[in-house]
């Protein structure tokens, strides 16, 4: 007796083409989403590192200016601040060619603008050490991803 019918195992060529096409589309979408997530993470991480570096610098400046005596200020300009601390040590902050330095040692690079503004008690700009009440430090830096990150803090000169 002869068998009638057809016993087919597997997939047809058309089914395989459709399955591979759908799988390729889903894979491309998943890859794009994953790539966007990695890029966003890297951007946030770069900005976070830049902000952490800026905060560290601001903390050091705040510590140095904590008991600033106005009469001990030798130089105050938008790019430079020189003064003598209460213990007699000289402190010299300088912005030059994108670098921010303390006593000739670079403490942070990629700075985009002059960091210092000097304010009187009414928070108006002043160029006189006699009327100095606040030192406003504004650090603007370019993060590793190319974003611009900034921190501004007004530090009170107590003495």
Domain residue ranges of the chain, discontinuous segments joined by +: 13-156
Q: With 70 as the cut, is the pLDDT of residue 1 above it?
A: no
Are 139 and 100 in contact by the 8 Å Cβ rule? The answer is: yes
- Residue 1 CA to residue 12 CA, distance in Å, equals 29
* Residue 46: Cβ within 10 Å count: 17
pLDDT score of 3: 62
- Residue 27 CA to residue 24 CA, distance in Å, equals 5
Are 69 and 76 in contact by the 8 Å Cβ rule? The answer is: no
pLDDT score of 150: 94
pLDDT score of 11: 87
pLDDT score of 7: 62
Are 140 and 58 in contact by the 8 Å Cβ rule? The answer is: no
pLDDT score of 66: 85
Write out the E strands in 90-132: 90-96, 99-102, 105-108, 116-119
> For 13-70, how does the pLDDT look when each residue is reduced to its tens digit (9 = 90+)?
999 999 999 999 999 999 999 999 999 999 999 999 999 999 999 999 999 988 888 8
Lowest mean pLDDT, pick from 2-6, 80-84, 113-117, 123-127: 2-6
Which residues lie below 8 Å from residue 30, measured CB to CB, with a gap of 6+?
none
Q: How confident is the model at residue 159 (pLDDT cuts 50, 70, 90)?
A: low
| CA 40 vs CA 32, 36, 153: distances in Å | 12, 6, 28
pLDDT score of 92: 96
pLDDT score of 15: 92
> For 72-108, how does the pLDDT look when each residue is reduced to its tens digit (9 = 90+)?
999 999 999 999 988 889 999 999 999 999 999 999 9
pTM for the structure as a whole: 0.78
């Amino acid at each position: 007796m002869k068998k009638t019918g057809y016993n087919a195992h597997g997939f047809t060529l058309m089914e395989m083409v459709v399955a591979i096409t759908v799988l390729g589309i889903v894979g491309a979408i998943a890859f794009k989403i994953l790539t966007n997530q990695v890029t966003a993470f890297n951007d946030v991480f770069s900005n976070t590192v830049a902000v952490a570096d800026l905060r560290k610098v601001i903390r050091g400046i705040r510590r140095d200016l904590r008991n600033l005596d106005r009469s001990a200020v030798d130089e105050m300009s938008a790019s430079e601040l020189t003064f003598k601390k209460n213990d007699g040590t000289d402190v010299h902050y300088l912005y030059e060619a994108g670098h921010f330095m303390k006593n000739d040692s670079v403490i942070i690079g990629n700075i985009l603008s002059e960091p210092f503004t000097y304010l009187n008690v009414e928070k108006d700009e002043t160029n006189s050490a006699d009327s100095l009440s606040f030192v406003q430090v504004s650090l603007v830096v370019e993060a590793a991803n190319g974003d611009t990150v900034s921190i501004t803090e007004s530090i009170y000169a107590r003495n």
